[in-house]
Structure 1
């Protein structure tokens, strides 16, 4: 039998330190690592991520939202993901962040929502001269004043939840821009049909046409679709706040555009100029004829609309100035 000598395999603190020095962890800013909450401090927490020194997360990096104490987010001995924010300081301590992870995932989520053309809802938490501020997935979003569809003063919107569509999602520039008007336009457009006659109110007159409020959204009655007769200016036919009957000749939900016509409702060419009452009286009958013949919007309207190719229905305020 071979005698075996008993070997002392005691593992000292020095041995452990030497082993850590030998193993290169490659902790770098931008890495996402698992860590366990070691100790909660008044304004931060110490986190064990397997480095020689416990890493630190300040309270302002614990959440995308404002918090007052670390225990609103973290629990002792809890294990979760952390973002390495900075290199080691003089004491060899890394600074961590949860907020940065939440930001990255929030931007990823809003990009996905934008790609899906989703409608989201959020409460206004502040207003300024330019518009209103909301939070989407924890990110601060801005609604320009021209994209707020309400007759209320902006200041009265604080606390009110609004349906919103995405206009711009730009993480690099930290720009998240939304539209209340576009969300309402989509909702309204989903209930409208091409060939339908609707009653509206003239809310704006431009050289190229009239903007008609039809139940809270704006449609464009282009000058070429007012009458078969030549029209020099929409002002010669309409006044601000006139109530009119119009027919929907095109719906472009993606761009939020509603194109209208009174020209297609004229029993006789020029009636809209000479006798608009007969146009309104016969509107449903003429619209039914238009639908039966399956006419497309007049080419003249298409040509005329090129003058206003950048027109977006959301840019027109429906509230009377």
Structure 2
């Protein structure tokens, strides 16, 4: 036994290692996650398969629906689709007219929304046919909807460049053609001059007025920045020729001037012998002797350049383009033009009517003298200077001279 005990005691068993125990437990624990990992992989694989099958079924269903009933469930029709294309798709070629809305303005121009891929730009110089410094001067403000024409493209951002000026330019030529056909007198502002004549702005276009077609003796420098009455002589858009005449306009205006008519004029200049009055583009002379019944020694005490007054036409020489004027004939009492010119202007039409009646009476008396040599007319002149019948059967007030037919040559 002792020897057995010794033998047993002599046996050396290594101590239990904590590391081995922990390693064993760790290995056991590691076996569990491996089994879980396998189960999870199977689960995920099954879920993906179901999802793929579901998507496959959806695609197959969609394909079948598109093949058999492509418009099923669509809230708009083919017509709606084409209408939308027309609204949002447009021709962006140069010269094309497009509609847009201004949504922003600045010192350089305006941004316009045209439902394109980017905003379009309207430069200041293209905003109006007239020279402006800001687009708002032409009425271009945010919210304005207008038709524009495409004139270019900005290479930096592919945005379009628009113009209103080119549209207005075409309309201006059309307007000038219409005014020429109607033979209308228009006002043109003189903006320049050259060797052959002057340049006038009409309807936003530059027109040429030859010196031979100017009725006034004023120099080109004197006419700058002034308005002249003009008529159209030639309107040719293709050749960009716009020729005007001041003489034709003056002839038309002068035809409206009748002896004894009252017109409004502006004093242009004073001379020792009278004042030159502008009456609608025509220069008339108000002689010093026709200012007032009272003597006027110094015209400057009565009139000044720039004064506006009413004058009466005394005579009109159309061949020479001379018009004689009078304020003397408009005075209610002699000297009113010096003492109370306001009263003269208020009574101008009334006094002019009296003057015309006197002229008509004088003409009637002259014609009556001629009729006295024609007893067959059956007319005589009464004490008031009115032609009346020889018999007493007709009205006592006599006959109006306008009703008397002219005597026939025997």
Aligned to 1:72: 137
Aligned to 2:228: 162
- Greater RCO, 1 or 2 (C-alpha within 8 Å, sep 6+): 1
TM-score (normalised: structure 1):
0.51
Aligned to 2:192: 126
Aligned to 2:320: 215
Contact residue 88 and residue 115 of structure 2 kept, 8 A: no
Aligned residues: 184
Contact residue 189 and residue 202 of structure 2 kept, 8 A: no
Superposed displacement of residue 138, structure 1? 0.9
Is 1:31 the counterpart of 2:96 in the alignment? yes
Structure having the higher helix fraction is 2
Aligned to 2:309: none
Tell me whether 73-82 or 173-182 shows the greater mean CA deviation: 73-82
Rg larger in structure: 2
Contact residue 82 and residue 97 of structure 1 kept, 8 A: yes
Change (3 A) 1:186 1:42: closer
Change (3 A) 1:48 1:23: closer
Change (3 A) 1:71 1:216: same
SS at match of 2:128: coil
Gaps of 5+ in 1: 1-8, 10-18, 193-211, 218-290, 294-321
For 2:187 and 2:89, the matched residues in 1 are separated by: 47
Contact residue 28 and residue 87 of structure 1 kept, 8 A: no
- Deviation by residue 1:92-146 (Cα, 9 ceiling, x = unmatched): 3111001111111111111100111111112222222221111111111111111
| Correspondence 1:309-320 to 2 at 5 A | none
Superposed displacement of residue 60, structure 1? 0.8
- Deviation by residue 1:182-224 (Cα, 9 ceiling, x = unmatched): 11223345669xxxxxxxxxxxxxxxxxxx972318xxxxxxx
Superposed displacement of residue 88, structure 1? 6.7
Change (3 A) 1:179 1:54: same
Contact residue 117 and residue 166 of structure 1 kept, 8 A: yes
Gaps of 5+ in 2: 1-73, 75-83, 259-316, 323-406
SS at match of 1:183: helix
Aligned to 1:196: none
Is 1:177 the counterpart of 2:243 in the alignment? yes
SS at match of 2:116: coil
Change (3 A) 1:68 1:23: closer
| Correspondence 1:22-101 to 2 at 5 A | 24-73=89-138, 74-86=140-152, 89=155, 91-101=157-167
- Deviation by residue 1:228-263 (Cα, 9 ceiling, x = unmatched): xxxxxxxxxxxxxxxxxxxxxxxxxxxxxxxxxxxx
Superposed displacement of residue 36, structure 1? 0.9
